[in-house]
Structure 1
Amino acid sequence: MTHIVDEPGTAPAPPSGRRGRRTALIVLAVVVVAAVAVIGALGLGGGQEEGPGTPPRAGSLVPVTRATLTERTQVDGRLGYGTEIPLPVKATGTVTWLPEPGTTAERGDTLLRVDDRPVVLLYGTLPMYRDLGAAVPASNQDGGSGRADGRQGDGRPSGQEPGTSGGKGAGPSGAPTAEGDGGGGQRARAAAPRELKGMDVLQFETNLAVLGYTGFTVDERFTARTADAVKRWQKSLGLPQTGTVGVGDVIYSAGRIRIGHPGVRPGAAVGENTLTYTGSARKVVVDASAADASWAVRGTAVRVRLPDGRSVNGRVASVGKEATAPEGGEQGSGQGAATVPVTVTVKDQKSLGRLESGPVTVEYVGRRAEDVFTVPVAALVALAEGGYGLETAEGTFLAVRTGLFADGRVEVSGVAVREGLKVRIPE
């Protein structure tokens, strides 16, 4: 093996081959370091380590930190008032007036007019199922077909037996019979009205008092004092002052409603779809993937991004129990995936501005990784043997296992991974 010895005072032989390239790289590195030093001295750049809020640069060193990573997922939704459903109109006759779609109705407002009589909105959960009055026929006590005018369905006065002309104890031929008569005559007793009681009475009296018609005790008993208040209410509505509320005079809802689109026009007979309504609060409906809807739990907090770029807080209110596939979708295709409707409510309605409907984006929290080691995603290096690693400040590589990716960072773990370890962003 021949050894080349440099004589004193002579310059070394020019580098060649691999050694020559290595020398060139060293010189280049010195030039780069010198340039960085000059830039730093001039205040045009920082050191190698990046601040917490600065995006990492290629070649810079960043520390391994402990943090909680949160995966956020976005899905498309639509803002609106929800599905319109028919109002339970029980009045019979001809529709003579309808409100404009989009109108908001509250307690005491007229929803529509039938035979030029107002049908009024009141608040409550129990539907109107019978006439309410102080002298309602006994047949109406259980929600029968007694009418508000105190006559039975066949036109006879309340309590009159079929085949009689009225009067106490009228027999088959119309002649009165004694109460103790044993001659086989049919005994007829007038069905005396009983005092009306029930939760529906309490619900109605509560509304009447809130509207300002008082003078009675709000309880489950419909008394003569209640009837007096009803007469005053009927006078304000332009109705005959009977003191009795017919089953079709009132419609109950849980609160304010928004009038939808009518199913008939004025002049038509009342039907099942005479008028529709929704709630008065705007909400968001998301068709969530049935296979990935574990996030959709009632009460879950979400963020709703509006078309103008603003975001507002929302909360999951309900989740449909029936999955459906889009029309024309094929099984196994992305467009044919089954979905379930998820309703999101927005408590601060003012934050929505004047927007009543339109496409929105709902952002929800998917997975969370708490108190884990994290680095910027850009710090990961693909290893030749497979998987990922991190390059240390000394130039060595550590194999790591990756976990959750979120917000530009990734969860990492490994034997040599520790908090504060400096790793390099590869160039």
Structure 2
Amino acid sequence: MAETVTHLDDAHETAPVPPPPHGRRGRRAALIASAVLVVAAVAVIGALGLGGGGDKGPSTPPRSGSVVPVTRTTLAERTAVDGQLGYGTEIPLPVKATGTVTWLPEQGATVERGGTLLRVDDRPVVLMYGMLPMYRDMALIPPEEEAEEERSSDGRQQKGSVDQQKNADGASPGPSASPSPSVSPSPSAPSQAPRELRGMDVMQFETNLAALGYTGFTVDERFTIATARAVKRWQKSLGLPRTGAVGVGDVIYSAGKVRIGHAEVRLGSAAGENTLGYTGTSRKVVVGASAADATWAVRGTNVQVKLPSGKSVRGKVASVGKEASVPEGGGGEGGSGAADATIPVTITIKDQKALGRLESGPVTVEYVGREAKDVLSVPVSALVALAEGGNGLETEDGRFLAVKTGLFADGNVEVSGAAIREGMKVRIAE
């Protein structure tokens, strides 16, 4: 800089000096020439940054662009994965009725407690709610069956007494030996009242019967005469013979109402375990999460489900599968095998109305990975690269401040630094 100024001065001294003008016109021309030289010198000095500024040093005019404040917020890193909306995997109804299928419901129909799931030999198979399966008939034990059990019990006792006598005497009693009074058969008159059936399955059935409006008995673990009377009234409403007994194939239990799925048989076929499939009635999302990166898939985790319409609804992880599987073709030539393995993650949606009429289709599930709470942040576009390295922010008055960056999320970035404070204005260059 100093050499450049000296060069300018030397050039000015060696330049030829024109002869002094004569008269008023000459003096005016000389003044104009001097003014031009002064303006040119000032322009050169200004361009070279040699203007006076005291001790403040050079200043850079701020760049054009918008100004945004530094805000304090919580940043969350969100990851999106593909999912499928539907009613979940169909499972077969545990049909125990034997005979010919004479009626099937439409696919997609909803069946509630007391509703007919199908008809076998023109008898309805009814849905009821409960966790225990229907594993035996529900009925009073007839007196003759009870007497038969007593006779069988007496026979076992008689044989045991004879064996005991044989062991005591060392020999079997001969044909002429008369039985002791303790082992002689004593016929007893059968009980006139049937015996009550007992068990937790009885309470489950009676709970459903009362919920359907057929009462007059105590809901407990005893199938009583009063229970049988209520069963007869229920059978009459179904158009069945009023026997007061419920067959093992007359009822199917589920945790709640069901949605009918695919029928595996046609009308006229024999009923069996795989006759009809069903699902729950609530729509849910199933995600094939990467088995290598599924730390987010924890029961109770909140997620966002983005629908094809662009609308987002809240969801929650309900279950996580324990068996990983490789997608078709993932383990073949060119596939990465175990690296492609996924586990099924089921997500429930509490607000079913928010889904509208959409019953199935592809959706996007967003979950939070990393999270930074109560941090200072700015838009990512506010960051500038500093000449000395690293990132910085440009203040409203044109100063540049070095910052340390943290989590990047949703177009914003976590920033920190000695001079960075909440509310200060920084510039986003256009």
Separation of aligned partners in 1, 2:244 and 2:207: 16
Separation of aligned partners in 2, 1:359 and 1:291: 23
Separation of aligned partners in 2, 1:256 and 1:215: 26
Say if 2:96 and 2:273, in contact at 8 Å, map to a contact too: no
Separation of aligned partners in 2, 1:333 and 1:382: 39
What amino acid is aligned across from residue 297 of structure 2 in structure 1? A
Q: CA deviation at 1:125?
A: 1.0
Structure-1 residue corresponding to 2:280: 279
Q: CA deviation at 1:303?
A: 2.2
Q: Which has the higher helix share?
A: 2
What amino acid is aligned across from residue 363 of structure 2 in structure 1? V
Q: CA deviation at 1:121?
A: 0.5
Answering whether residue 46 of structure 2 is matched by residue 12 of structure 1, we say no
Which segments of 5 or more consecutive residues in structure 1 lack a partner in the other structure?
27-47, 49-56, 139-149, 152-156, 163-179
Separation of aligned partners in 2, 1:95 and 1:369: 60
What amino acid is aligned across from residue 108 of structure 1 in structure 2? G
Structure-2 residue corresponding to 1:242: 243
Answering whether residue 309 of structure 2 is matched by residue 303 of structure 1, we say no
Which segments of 5 or more consecutive residues in structure 2 lack a partner in the other structure?
1-5, 14-29, 52-61, 153-177
Report sequence identity in percent.
68
Say if 2:97 and 2:272, in contact at 8 Å, map to a contact too: no
Answering whether residue 403 of structure 2 is matched by residue 400 of structure 1, we say yes
C-alpha spacing 1:61/1:15, structure 2 compared with 1 (3 Å): farther
Separation of aligned partners in 1, 2:273 and 2:304: 38
C-alpha spacing 1:420/1:229, structure 2 compared with 1 (3 Å): closer
Separation of aligned partners in 2, 1:355 and 1:2: 82
Structure-1 residue corresponding to 2:65: 59
Which aligned pairs between 1:319-338 and structure 2 lie closer than 5 A?
319-330=320-331, 333=336, 337-338=340-341
Q: CA deviation at 1:414?
A: 2.7
Which aligned pairs between 1:22-421 and structure 2 lie closer than 5 A?
22=47, 59-135=65-141, 159=149, 194-330=195-331, 333=336, 337-384=340-387, 386-421=389-424
| Larger deviation, residues 183-192 vs 287-296 | 183-192
Separation of aligned partners in 1, 2:189 and 2:39: 132
Q: CA deviation at 1:311?
A: 2.2
Separation of aligned partners in 2, 1:421 and 1:389: 14
Separation of aligned partners in 1, 2:190 and 2:324: 54
Separation of aligned partners in 2, 1:351 and 1:358: 15
Q: CA deviation at 1:253?
A: 0.7
What amino acid is aligned across from residue 10 of structure 1 in structure 2? A
Say if 2:305 and 2:312, in contact at 8 Å, map to a contact too: yes
- Aligned residue pairs total 363
**Is the radius of gyration larger for structure 1 or structure 2?**
2
What amino acid is aligned across from residue 321 of structure 1 in structure 2? K
Separation of aligned partners in 2, 1:359 and 1:80: 9
Separation of aligned partners in 1, 2:266 and 2:100: 10
C-alpha spacing 1:353/1:202, structure 2 compared with 1 (3 Å): same
Q: CA deviation at 1:21?
A: 10
What amino acid is aligned across from residue 35 of structure 2 in structure 1? T
Q: CA deviation at 1:401?
A: 2.1
Say if 1:326 and 1:335, in contact at 8 Å, map to a contact too: no
Question: Cα RMSD over matched residues?
Answer: 3.6
Structure-2 residue corresponding to 1:176: none
Q: CA deviation at 1:408?
A: 2.0
Q: CA deviation at 1:67?
A: 1.9
C-alpha spacing 1:137/1:99, structure 2 compared with 1 (3 Å): farther
What amino acid is aligned across from residue 384 of structure 2 in structure 1? V
Separation of aligned partners in 1, 2:148 and 2:268: 33
Say if 1:302 and 1:365, in contact at 8 Å, map to a contact too: yes
| Larger deviation, residues 357-366 vs 205-214 | 357-366
C-alpha spacing 1:371/1:357, structure 2 compared with 1 (3 Å): same
Q: Matched residue of 1:10: which SS?
A: helix
Could you state the TM-score of these two structures normalised by the residue count of structure 2?
0.74
Q: CA deviation at 1:219?
A: 1.2
Q: Matched residue of 1:227: which SS?
A: helix
C-alpha spacing 1:415/1:337, structure 2 compared with 1 (3 Å): farther
Separation of aligned partners in 1, 2:240 and 2:225: 19
Say if 1:315 and 1:344, in contact at 8 Å, map to a contact too: yes
Q: CA deviation at 1:243?
A: 0.9
C-alpha spacing 1:416/1:218, structure 2 compared with 1 (3 Å): same
Q: CA deviation at 1:335?
A: 11
Separation of aligned partners in 2, 1:281 and 1:85: 15
What amino acid is aligned across from residue 248 of structure 1 in structure 2? G
